[in-house]
Structures are given as C-alpha cells and as structure tokens.
Structure 1
Amino acid sequence: MFYFSQQLGLDLEELEEIEEDAGLGNGGLGRLAACFLDSMATLGLGAYGYGIRYEFGIFNQKVVDGWQVEEADDWLRYGNPWEKARPEYMLPVHFYGRVDHTPDGIKWVDTQVILAMPYDTPVPGYKNNTVNTMRLWSAKAPNDFNLEEFNVGDYIQAVLDRNLAENISRVLYPNDNFFEGKELRLKQEYFVVAATLQDIIRRFKSSKFGCRDPVRTCFETFPDKVAIQLNDTHPALSIPELMRIFVDVEHMDWDKAWDITKRTCAYTNHTVLPEALERWPVSMFEKLLPRHLEIIYAINQKHLDVMAFVYIDRLRRMSVIEEGDCKRINMAHLCVIGSHAINGVARIHSEIYKKVIFVGFACLGPISNTNLFVVFSPFVLISQKIGEDFLTDLSQLKKLLDFVDDEAFIRDVAKVKQENKQKFSAYLVEQYKVKINPSSMFDVHVKRIHEYKRQLLNCLHIITLYNRIRKDPKKSYVPRTVMIGGKAAPGYHMAKMIIKLITSIGDVVNNDPYIGERLKVIFLENYRVSLAEKVIPAADLSEQISTAGTEASGTGNMKFMLNGALTIGTMDGANVEMAEEAGEENLFIFGMRVEDVEAMDKKGLADIIFVFSFRYNAKEYYDRIPELRQAIDQINSGFFSPDDPGRFRDIVNMLMYHDRFKVFADYEAYIKCQGQVDQLYMNPREWTKKVIKNIACSGKFSSDRTITEYAREIWGVEPSAVKIPPPNIPRE
C-alpha cells in the first residue's frame, strides 16, 4: 500500500486526514467496540459486529464566542469506500400494532413495517488473513409508496411518512451518560435488535447445526454456536425478542425457549450513574412493542415467583417492573435475569454493581470483572528495543523494565515525546491559530464534558495557578499548557456552561501579559478519534479526575498510559488497575477513595443525645480554603465574564449547594498533587523513567487480552493463532 501510494505521488498521512471519522459511536464505548472487533479478527474468532448505519454521527462541535454550537456530522456525504450494500439480506422490522391470542398461537398483527438494509464492512485481523464483518443496518421505508395518493395531491403526507420511517437511522443519539426516554431511541434499539436476531437465526438455520429440518429447526445447539454479548442495556431487547421468535414463530414451549435464550445472552454493564440506566415507561412499550411488553411481564413474574421462595423481602427491588406514578421497565434488571454471565468493566465497579445497582441479584450468579481495554498502536522505538512480538502479546512490554536505567533509551523516549509535541504544536498553529511553547508541560484532559468527569476541578486548578503567578510573577514556574476537549450533549445545560467557563478562563489567562508562556489554556474543538490520535501521543500529563466510584472504567486513561503520559487521577475505574500494574508511586494519585465518598454520602447516625453528620458540605471547604474561595469568588463576580458578571452563577450555585460529585472535597489534595507533578517535571530524567515504567506495565490493557477472557470465560470458545494463507498461496 505504501509502495503504491508513493508511485502515485500520494502521502498516506494526507489520505488519512481526508477520510472522515465514522459516525458510529458517541464516546469511549464506540471506540471500544471497534477495538473489540479488531481483536476478535486478530484472535481468529468468527464474529459479527452489529449496529446502525447512522446517516449523521453524534455532531461536529464548533466553538463560537466560547459556546458550543452543534453542526450535522455528515460523514457519509462522499460515500464510504469500505462498505458494501447487501440488499439481498434486507429484513422487515415491525412496530406498533396489537397482539391476538388465538387457538393457533399468539400473533402480533396490524404492525407498521420498516425495512432494515444491511451494509457490510470488512474487519481484518493483524497479519493472519482473517476477515470478520461489521454489519450496519439502515432503515428504509417499504416499497409500497402510494403513487395514486401522491398524484391526487397528498404528496406531502406520503413523503413525510417515508421520512419518518427512515428517521430511525438518521442521527446518532448524542447522550451516553444520561437516559432520555424518547420513542425514537427505543425504536433504534429495537430496530437493530430485531434485524440482527433475524440475521443470526437465518445464518444458524442455513448451517449444519440447524438440522435443516423442512418443518422445524433444531435449536438445542443454538447456545453452543451463537453467543450474543449485550454491550450495556441498549441491546437489552434481544432477550424478549429472542423469546418472541422462539415462542411465537418457532412454537417452542416457554421453559425451553427461556433456557436457550439465557444460555445465549451475556451482559456487560458500563455505568454506575443512576441517570444513565435505562428505565422505559410501560406505556411506551404498550404502544410501540405490545408483544414484548407481555413477554417482559411474563419473564418478570416467573423470576419473582422463584425469588419469593428465598428473598421475599427483596422482590420489589429485584423486579423488572418498577411501580410508581409512571410504571417503568428496568432494562438492567432484565439483562441480569436473562443472561448467563454478567460482568462489570473494572474491578472496583463490579463491586459497586453488587452492593448498589444489582443488590440482591448475587443469588442468580456471580458478577465478574472483564476489563475493557484498548488496541495498542505500534511504536518503532520499542520494536527496535524488544522486537515486534509485543504487537500481538502486549505482556512482552515488561521487557522494557530492563531498560529503565538505560541512559540512551531514556534520551530516545524523551526525544520521541518531544517530536510528538512539536508536531501537535504545529497542528494547533495551523488549525487554531494558537502558538504554544512545545517545551511546556502538555496537561491534557479530553473526554465527554460531564459533571462527574470533573472538568470543573481542573478549572479551579488553572485559576489557582493563574492567581499564584499573578501574586508572585518573579517565582520560577513550570510552563504548562492545559488542553481540555470534549463534547457536551446538546440538551445538557451545565456541560455547555462548563465549556463556556473553560474558554472564558482561557481568554483571560492567554491574554494576560504577566502570565506570558508560563500558562496557556486551550479548548480542543470537536474532540474525536482523529484528534485523539494526535493529542494523546503528545501528552505529558493525563487528567483522570472523576469522583471515586463514578467512572465505570475509562479507555482514555489507558491510551495515555500506553503512549507515554503520566496520570494524575483518583482511585476510580481502571485507574485502580493501572496503579496496581505500574505501582501507585508511578502515578499521581490523589483524593477520596470509594469508601470515603460512601461515608460522606451517609445521611447521618443519630441516638438520643448526639447526631453525627457525614454529609458533604461544600461551604465548609469554601470557608476554610482561601485559594478555593478566591477562585469561586472570581467565577461568581464576573472576573472571567466581564460582559455578563452573572453568567457563571449557575455553576457556582451547583458547586456550593448541589454538587453530587464533591469537587471541593478533593480540591486541596488535587492542588497538592499538581505541585508534585511540577516537581517531577523539572527533573526530565526521572520523569522519563516513570514514563518507561508506565509503558512497560501497560501490557494488561490490551483488547486482545480482554477478548481472550470473554472468549474463554463467557462465550466458551478458544482463540486461534492460526494464520490463513493468502489466496495466492495454496494451502497445505
């Protein structure tokens, strides 16, 4: 490929820049899914990845006068050269209608039909000639366009009906940390599930395992040949849909259908935030998916009947149906009941799932931990030192520990990092018209903008550092360029205000002559995969500062570690395992642990005489810590918004009175830890030694290892190291 591009006078890096980022995911989970597909092909596992072929991705973020503005992400406007349409496998998906219970069986009738058109993209493994498939579904209106109505003048309604049908695959929903009970989202979830399960069963029936009985298919071997991994609750409808197919279409008895369904499905939970867990109104199901509502009620009743024998006191909190003013279906509970294996994504959060979210469900089976990690990009320097075998066995990175004190290697690693920083600095000049000091510390905080990810804590550090420089400008300070990037969900007011605050702080800091090059603040517009590929290799410091117990795992934290950035973070998500692998002394760990947060959340203990309160009181920190009080007062008084002094009072009020994520409680520890960062950065040799240790200890964080665990522990298959010969070489 490289040779031919040279012959054509093309540059591969320029070609990569032209290619659009695929609009298939809205955060770490989307990137992670791509890594998993890559690893499954590399490990020789026959697998399909299924999703929706969104016409428009999450959105392109523009920052205008410091405010986020969303623009359509028209990633398909020039087509997609990697995909192939497969109209021969188009399938019908049904919505609405009613359920008829007849002597001949249960029928879902009078439905609205939308067609699912598949588009296939090849997913090649690494140097093994194995190619799997990612199949994406696009919604198409049925070809029953009423030309007669159109000709007599009712053409507007005819076109509108068609557009409504195809809206299902029009736009990717931007929220991944907040559940919105919108009908379109439920349609999207059922659309991908219904089309996918039809496709899976078609393939099973056409195989030798389906018995090819002319009358009935033998499904006894289905769980042995098919494994469906439910990646969070979005595909949870696979459980009732599989039951509907087995019971209504294949005429299987309920208990047998349930046994096969449960042995086929496995569930991965990705969040501990209550607002992110899907709880769909029963009334919406009744209208949109009436048969599935019946099946979910039946699943829940049978589940509660069994639990009643042992856990009568737990029935309410273990039910799939949540009672109240608005009855809701708890999709996470449905996944737990209908899956044979349940796993979290970091050990610390698997424990939280057991104690909080799925309390009482331990009787159904263990909740395990299978860490979600990322594909590793090759490093020429490392290959020169330890060979290329580490590319398929990341544990071999441990060999780098032998070179921690190798002066030449230390210089080479530092040189590569500086080259990456120079390259990214040039990119910022080109794209942002901002000139920064490439020798400054690149302090990078890139992820979705959300209160629990605590970009506000970073803002408070920036303001504190700014005030210190202003107070004592003659003192020597480590030059620091703080880069924050990420998208806010369009309807998330506080997240958008946080972006405006970051840009406003940047406007003040970057234009203050007393500050000069000692501190710069850059908001990285439209953070996405292609931008991550540039900024992560250039980063010196990785900000992973969520409140302990809120980040399910994170994937950016591991990408930074693999690419030679040191981490400042709380003991949250995968930071815990990173600290275990590299040693806590090789990360900058600060702040409350999960048990400290839990203690602070207690409502208080009382007896006749004393009342002990452990509640978080933000004002206590505000009153006690002068630098924190100064920063908050500056935000509140309009120091960073002189044109509108009250602009950020919503942020201040939230921090002072309604902060679920306890920013002030970790402020002192964070500021102190940032001082330790500065001290180490002033010693480049010792800093680089820690970088080498981090890279050497990052071998655990490979999606190949993760998929190997899934394959062996959940799917019951063994990865293969067999390399298929190329087509032009005859097989032995």
Structure 2
Amino acid sequence: MEMTKEEFKKELQQRLKEKYAMDINDASSQELYNVLGSVVKAYYSDAWSNTWKDYLEDGQKQAYYFSIEFLPGKMLKSNLLNMGILETVEAGLADLGVSLDELAQVEQDMALGNGGLGRLASCFMDSIASCGLPGNGNGIRYDYGLFKQRFVDGYQVELPDEWLRNGNTWEVRKESKAVDVLFGGNVYLAEDTDGQLRPVYEGARRLRAVPYDTAVLGYQNHLVNTLRLWSVEIPESEEDHYRSIEDRRAFEDLTAVLYPDDSNERGRQTRLWQEYFFVSAGVQSIIRYYLRLNKPLDVLNEYVAIHINDTHPALCIPEMMRILMDEHGMSWEKAFNVTVKVMSYTNHTIMAEALEKWPVALMKENLPRMYQIIEELDRRFVNELTICYPENPELIQRTRIIQNEQVHMAHLAIICSHSTNGVAKLHSDLLKEVVLHDFYQLFPERFNNKTNGIAQRRWLQLANPKLSKVLDQTIGTTWRKTPGDLKLLQNYVEDQTVLDQLAEAKKSNKQRLASYIEETTGITVSPEAIFDVQIKRLHAYKRQLLNLLHILKLYFDLKDDPKKVQESRLFIFGAKAAPSYTYAKSIIKAINEVANLINNDPDINGRIKVVFLENYNVHLAELIIPAADVSEQISLASKEASGTSNMKLMLNGAITLATLDGANVEIRDAVGDDNVVIFGMTEREVYQYYERQDYVAKDYYDQSPVLQRILNAFVDGTIPNIYFEGREIFDSLLKHNDEYFVLRDFDAYVKAQEKIDGLYRDQHHWQQMSLMNIANAGRFSADDTMMRYAEEIWHIEPVEQYSKKKG
C-alpha cells in the first residue's frame, strides 16, 4: 500500500481537525491513537472491500475458522507492518513530535482468549491472510477480556478487563448481517401441507446476534480477510420477555465474559448458550452468503470448509444439519453427507477428562432441536456400528455420542467430520494410539497431524526489532516473507562478529525488560543474570510447581554455602489461573511468597531473583520473549498437546529446557540434541506408571533429604504466609500421590538446570546454541502450517493461484 511520509502527515492532521477540531499539539495520546486508527482503516478499506467482492464474484472456496477464543493482541503495529508502512508512519509521527510506541501503549489488548488456544487462532488468522488464502474467523465479541489479573498480598485477584471502555478502533458493526438465534422452549415435528415433517417451536427465546467485523491484513499482499465476532442484543419483538433484572442479566451474560464460572447450574447454562450462539450465528451467516452464489446446497462442501477449533464449536454440526433439513428441506442422508464433507476438527487435548461433555438434561432444556438432531446422529451411528461390529458391543458403547446421560462433544466432532488432527506429532500419535484409539480404528483415514505454528511477523519482526535488524544485515530480508530462510543463519555459527551482534540484541532486550520490571514491581534485576522464563497458563500439568521446588533448592544451597559457584538467575513467571481453579491459585500465592522471601534476603545478595509479572497477555509476552535466555517447557510428558510459547522463545534465541512433550520433541529434532536441554520421563514411561499403578510419591520424599527440606518449607513456616496454600500443595504431592510426577522428575530437572548453568558460563558456546535455535525456528511458521491445512484438509487455494487457474 503506497504512501509517502508527507501524505501520511497531511492525512493525519486533516482527520484530527475533522474529528476533534484540534491540532497535533493539543491532542491527547488517546485522541491521536483514535485518529491514527481511522487513517489506517481508510488505507486498507478498499482492499478489504475488494477482497470480499472478489470472493463473491469468483465463487472461490473459503475456509471458516470457528473458535471460542481469539487473542489478537494489539493490532496497530501489526497492521502497519502488514501494510508495509510501519517505518513511514513511525517517521511521519516523529516529524510531528509524536512517538508511535507511546500511541501503541494506548491500545487495549483484544484479550478474548485464555492462552494458547486463542493465540493460536489469531496466529492462524494472520497466516491465512498472509498466505493469500480465502479464510475468515468466527467467534464471540466478549464485553470483557478474560480478566485483569492483580496480586493482592500475593493472591490472584480477578478484575474486569474493560477492553472496550474507549471503543475498538478496528471493528465495524454490521447491523445488516445480524441473525436471530433461538434458545429453550419446546420443539416437536409436525406434517406441513406437503406431508413433510417440519419442526415447530413453542416458547423459544429469540436473541439477536450482531456481527462486529475486524480486518485481518495479509503481509504486504493486498488481501484482507475478516474476523467476525458476534455480540448479543435483544430483538425489538422480544423486549417484553426481558423486563426483569434477572432476565436482563442472563441475556447480558451471554457475551459478557469468556468461560463463565461453570461450578453452578447458571454458569453451565451460560457456557452452553455461548457455544450455540456464535455457532448458530456463524453457520447462518455462511449459508446466507453461499446462497448468493446461486449454487445448490448439496455441493456446499465445494465452496465452504468449516473448521472446529477444539470442541467448543462442535455444535456447528447439528446446526448445519438443522439449517439444511429444517430450512431448506434436504433429506437427512444428504444433509449428513454434506455436513461431514464441510466439517473438520482439531483436537487440542490429550487428557480425556478435559474432553468436553454436556449433560443431556441441560442440552434438552436449552437447545431442544440440537439435542434431537444429536440423538438421531447417535442412534444412526450405533445402528451402523451394530451391523459392522456385532461382536463388539463394548466398542459401540465407548464411541457413541451419548453415554451415561452426557453428550460427548469430541465424539460428535470426530464422527460427523471428515478430518481430525492433532497439533504436534507426539500429540497426534497419542490420539491415535491411546486417547482416541477406538475412533482411529473406525476412521483411520480421517486422522492426521498438523503441528502448530506461530506468526513470526509478530513474534520476531514486531516483538524483536533489534534481532530483526541483525538478521537483515546478516542474511538479507527474504526471511521476513519466507521464514524458512532463517536457515541461512547457520552459515554464521562460527562468525564471532555475528555472535556478538546477537548477544548485544539480547542484552538490549533484557535491559528493556529489566526497566519494565522495576517500573511495575519495584524489583531491581540485573540484565547480566540468566533470564529463566516460564510463561503459560497456570495449570498443575504444566508444572510451575517443579520450577518453584528447584528455586527453593537453589535458595537453600546459597543459604548453606554463600560462596557456592552459581550463575545469577532471574526466574520470570507469567500466568493466569482460572478463577475457580483454587489449586493453581495456591501455587501463584506460593510463588509470590517465595519471591518475597528470596528477593528480600540480604544473604542471597540478588544472586537469585523471582518475579511473577501480573496480567500476562500478548503485549507482555512481546516484552518477555525477546529477553529470555531459558525457555521452560517442563510439562509432564504426554500432557501438553503442542505448546507455542516454546516456538516463540526458540525463535528469539532462548535455549529450550524441556521434557519430551508436545512440540518440544520436534524442536529437539529441528535443532539437534546439542542445542536443547532435555530431561525427565518420556510419555511411554508415564503410561507405564499408569498401567502398573505403582508410583509412590512418598518414596521419593522419604529417600531425599533435599526434597524433605523443600517440601517441609511449605508447612513449617519457612515460606511465610502460606499456611493453607502450603498445606494444600504439600498434601497434593504426598497425600494425593503427586498426580503429575513432580517428585519423580525433580532430580532430573535439577541436573538439567545445572547443565544450563554450565553452558551459560561459556558465552561463546551459548551464543552458538542461541543462533542455531533462531536459524531452525522457521520450521514452526504458522504460514507453513496453514498451507498444510489448506491443501490437506480444507482444499482451498491461494487467491492468486486460483485466479491463474481460472484465467
């Protein structure tokens, strides 16, 4: 998108006068940000409109990515980068005495996700557009982000994340595209005048789904896709049904927050309503668009692919069936055939207990038509299996959609789609061999792997301009469009000048993060220390607790021997715990109290510092990741589906300290054993414990004076202010037998950390390892991942390629 610096300055000043009737010097940062956003939108609006028109006119097949979470982060700089005008705008603002970085601080994170699932969806949206692919996102426009995390006396406190308080510059409300969604009531089938059975709805609640569209810009390719987020409103015809405060609140909760507390009946109902709301609205919108192509519905799969990102959007399946049968008179057999060809599903969990299930009674009451269709899907599936496997009733029972008065959403997604993929090689293998083995036996052709990837534009070009500049000077700029070209950096592994430049970029990023830490926490940290980083959702299987036990060991070692040779360490945590996850919140409290203990102990003299940064989000990740020396990826082998922080940290030159879990296996394969530090049990060893059921955590405690001292610290007052939390953690490891094998892996983890210490002492070798990680990170580009989805699952083509073929 061509634009000179002078043209930009003139446009900005003119719009500022039109919008606020003021000059640059009189405007606040918020006002300047709003105006800059409107200028940027004006620049891409034609491309956005033209992209949509081209899709409609060409009838090219499109993919629709359904996800209950999206974590786009801040979009100003990303949009400027993808438009190719980042440097022009930065220079133009500087001429006017304005800092682009300061304006970017004004923008609120679009924190519409909980962690990896939402960030992955946003990376994928960026890559779909940047690969020139026809694809759009579909989700919920939550009034509040997940929550704003604050620490009070070391405890996590959840505050509302009012991300829309000053509006959202990037969204466009599309009232004309609104649709109605029905909930509750009673549904029965009755013959119409043609003798066909049609559903009759009685007493259903009708809500209005209004889309807010956000442009997703491809990287310097003039293609602009759409992320459509749905917000709920009350239709005028339904106003009388929502007179009481309680009714209003129930309606408002529908798109208020992500993952409302499901520990009570009302919370569970809200979650189910949320899932159906954005699914129904999205599928209705897709069908309405498709009908404009004037194509018959029985070839829908030739023009539309719908992707179910985890099980939350699995209601896409019965909703598609409902629309095809109830609204367009298609037979069950044809509707099912079309639906299977349209739908594909990504599984994001290995843990069977995390696979989503809904009580039959709850679904019957709230989504009666959906339940009727699911019940019939289940009945027909059981009948088919009974014919094919009459001798194996156990298989039928294990795989059916409805069992034990619960609807199994993963079963629904697998049975009624044409593709099920895992998100790392290990994960996909475990799905086939263990978690979903029955389904793999039934549908082997449907299972495949698509290892996750990251949008390297954001996580390198935007987050780490210092490193990006070194790369440009060393290997040229082709890596910016073709991440695989980072491989060229391997040619410089013996070049001391390049190694020094990489080290200088890392040091600068560490100084930037150290300044942020001091400003926000008051804790002074040394950029010379090893920055040891664990940033991910707080969950027991991710084993932040293992990290904490090791920190305590280092602390006790230094207390016993202040002269011990040990590299200075800064341990950085960033994580939110789900509001109802009390155990995770106890671990947060414990980490914060250990931090207070160590950071204020004069005997330690700053050789260990522990910092837990509040409110971890995309923007904070962009500060932490470029500064990291060590990437903690220490989940119990077999529990993490993939992980993507491992890829982001690797890309920025951190050394991965990891178990062989998720995509860590592929990171090791990419960089070689000499450039990662691996420890702990393999997934096979974990499953052997499960089979034998002979793990006794207390044996490790009884046999290790080191572990005794560390664990006793949680209950004997050594760590202050954790009387209840310390006991909970102590009991989880010993009384409840350490579900995630923290004690089993502790010694191996300590040895791995000692290896890290030794490697860091040899800075030349450390920089070589860092270089090799950067050079091999192109393998984990979301661009490559999306091209595999496009070719192997969705069967869509890049726009230019399609146009040439058509021409």
Output the TM-score relative to the length of structure 2.
0.84
Residue 18 (structure 1) aligned with residue 106 (structure 2): yes
Partner in structure 1 of residue 439 of structure 2: 361
Superposition RMSD in Å: 2.0
> Residue 13 of structure 1: CA displacement?
1.1
Residue 428 of structure 1 aligns to a residue whose secondary structure is helix
1:601 aligns with 2:690: yes
Q: Which amino acid aligns with 1:139?
A: V
Alignment of 1:439 onto 2:518 = no
Distance 1:255 1:384, change over 3 A: same
Amino acid of the residue matched to residue 518 of structure 1?
R
User: Which residue does 2:396 correspond to in 1?
Assistant: 315
Partners of 1:359 and 1:316 lie apart in 2 by: 14
Following TM superposition, where does structure 1 have runs of at least 4 consecutive aligned residues deviating by more than 4 angstroms? 174-181, 643-647, 720-724
**Contact 1:711–1:717, Cα closer than 8 Å, also in 2:** yes
Deviation, 1:108, is 4.0
Q: Distance in 2 between matches of 1:454 and 1:69?
A: 21
Pick closer, same or farther for the CA change 1:144–1:646 going to 2, 3 Å: closer
Q: Choose which of 692, 695, 701 in structure 2 pairs with 1:622.
A: 701
Decide which of 201, 206, 212 is 1:109's aligned counterpart.
201
Aligned residue type for 2:435: I
Q: More deviation in 168-177 or 332-341? A: 168-177
> Hey, what does 2:760 align to over in structure 1?
681
The answer to whether the Cα contact below 8 Å between 1:270 and 1:345 also exists between their aligned partners in 2 is yes
Rate the CA distance shift 1:681–1:69 in 2: closer, same or farther, 3 A.
Answer: same
**Structure 2 matches for 1:24-103, cutoff 5 A?**
24-103=112-191
Aligned residue in 2 for 1:381: 470
Q: Which amino acid aligns with 1:706?
A: T
Following TM superposition, by how much is the alpha carbon of 1:719 offset from its aligned partner in structure 2, in angstroms?
A: 2.8
The 5 Å alignment of 1:216-615 reads 218-311=296-389, 312-313=392-393, 314-323=395-404, 327-362=405-440, 363-366=442-445, 367-376=447-456, 377-378=460-461, 379-602=468-691, 604=692, 614-615=693-694
Separation in structure 2 between the aligned mates of residue 687 and residue 27 of structure 1, nearest angstrom: 30
Evaluate the alpha carbon distance shift between residue 396 and residue 178 of structure 1 in structure 2; reply closer, same or farther with a 3 A threshold.
Answer: farther
Structure 1 CA distance for aligned equivalents of residues 624 and 261 of structure 2 = 24
2:437 aligned counterpart, secondary structure? coil
Aligned amino acid, residue 243 of structure 1: M
Equivalence for 2:25: none
Unaligned regions of 5+ residues in structure 1, if any?
150-155, 212-217, 605-613, 725-731
Per the alignment, residue 782 of structure 2 pairs with 703
Decide which structure has greater helix share: 2
Q: Which residue of structure 2 aligns with residue 717 of structure 1?
A: 796
Match of 2:30 in 1: none
Aligned position for 2:56: none
Deviations 1:684-729 (A, max 9, x none): 11001000001111111010000000000001122356799xxxxx
Report the counterpart of residue 254 of structure 2 in structure 1. 168
Does structure 1 conserve the Cα–Cα contact (< 8 Å) formed by 2:134 and 2:799?
A: no
Residue equivalent to 1:694: 773
Give secondary structure in 1 for the equivalent of 2:454.
Answer: coil
- The change in CA–CA distance for 1:40 and 1:645 in structure 2 (over 3 A counts) is closer
Distance 1:181 1:309 in 2: 40
Q: % of aligned pairs identical?
A: 42
SS of the residue 2:713 aligns to? helix
String of CA shifts for 1:589-610, please: whole Å, max 9, x gaps.
00000001011112x3xxxxxx
Determine helix, strand or coil for the equivalent of 1:551: coil
Q: In the alignment, is the contact (CA less than 8 A) between 2:529 and 2:570 conserved in 1?
A: yes
CA distance in 2, matches of 1:191, 1:472: 61
8 Å CA contact 2:562–2:603 kept in 1: the answer is yes
Listed as ranges, the gaps of 5+ residues in structure 2 are: 1-88, 462-467
Offset of 1:433 from its aligned partner?
1.1
Q: Distance in 1 between matches of 2:727 and 2:559?
A: 24
- Structure 2 match to 1:672: 751
- Counterpart selection for 1:189 from 266, 275, 278: 275
Post-superposition Cα deviations, 1:80-112, rounded to whole Å, max 9, x if no partner, equal 011111111111000011112111222141211
CA separation of 1:179/1:145 partners in 2, compared to 1, >3 Å: closer, same or farther?
closer
Q: Say if 1:194 and 1:241, in contact at 8 Å, map to a contact too.
A: yes
The structural deviation recorded for 1:365 is 3.2
Q: Report if aligned partners of 1:141, 1:166 keep a CA contact under 8 Å in 2.
A: no
Alignment partners' CA distance in 2, 1:419 and 1:68: 31
Whether the aligned pair in 2 keeps the contact of 1:373 and 1:706 (CA below 8 Å) is: yes
What residue in structure 1 maps to residue 233 of structure 2? 140
- The corresponding residue for 1:201 is 287
Is 1:26–1:175's contact at 8 Å kept on the other side of the alignment? no
Give the 3 Å change call, closer, same or farther, for CA 176–707 of structure 1 in structure 2: farther
Contact 1:447/1:486 (CA < 8 Å) preserved in 2?
A: yes
Instruction: State the one-letter code of the partner of 1:56.
Output: Y
Equivalent residue letter for 1:623: D
Q: Within the alignment, does 1:636 sit opposite 2:708 as a pair?
A: no
C-alpha deviation, 1:23, in angstroms: 2.7
Give the Cα separation in 2 of the matches to 1:355 and 1:524: 39
- Contact in 1 for aligned 2:636/2:741 (Cα 8 Å): yes
Counterpart contact for 1:638–1:646, Cα < 8 Å: no
Q: CA 1:448 to 1:644, structure 2 compared with 1: closer, same or farther past 3 Å?
A: closer
Query: How has the CA–CA distance of structure 1 residues 351 and 179 changed in structure 2, closer, same or farther, with 3 Å as cutoff?
Result: farther
Kindly indicate whether residue 212 of structure 2 is the aligned counterpart of residue 123 of structure 1.
no
Shift of 1:4: 3.0
Q: Is the 8 Å Cα contact of residues 179 and 277 (structure 1) preserved in structure 2?
A: no
Moved more, 377-386 or 281-290: 377-386
Can you list the C-alpha shifts for 1:399-435, whole angstroms capped at 9, x where unaligned? 1110001010000000100000011101111111110
User: Contact between 1:539 and 1:565, CA under 8 Å: does it hold in 2?
Assistant: yes
* Secondary structure of residue in 1 paired with 2:254: helix
Question: What is the count of residue pairs matched by the alignment?
Answer: 696
Q: Which one is further off, 378-387 or 671-680?
A: 378-387
Q: SS where residue 298 of structure 2 aligns?
A: coil
TM-score (norm. length: structure 1): 0.92
* Counterparts of 2:385 and 2:267, CA distance in 1: 29
> Quick check: 1:24–1:54 contact (8 Å CA) kept in 2?
yes
Is the Cα–Cα contact under 8 Å of residues 593 and 722 in structure 2 kept in the other structure? no
Question: For residue 8 of structure 1, what is the aligned residue in structure 2?
Answer: 96
SS at match of 2:226: strand
Name the SS of the counterpart of 2:143 in structure 1: coil
Moved more, 350-359 or 285-294: 350-359
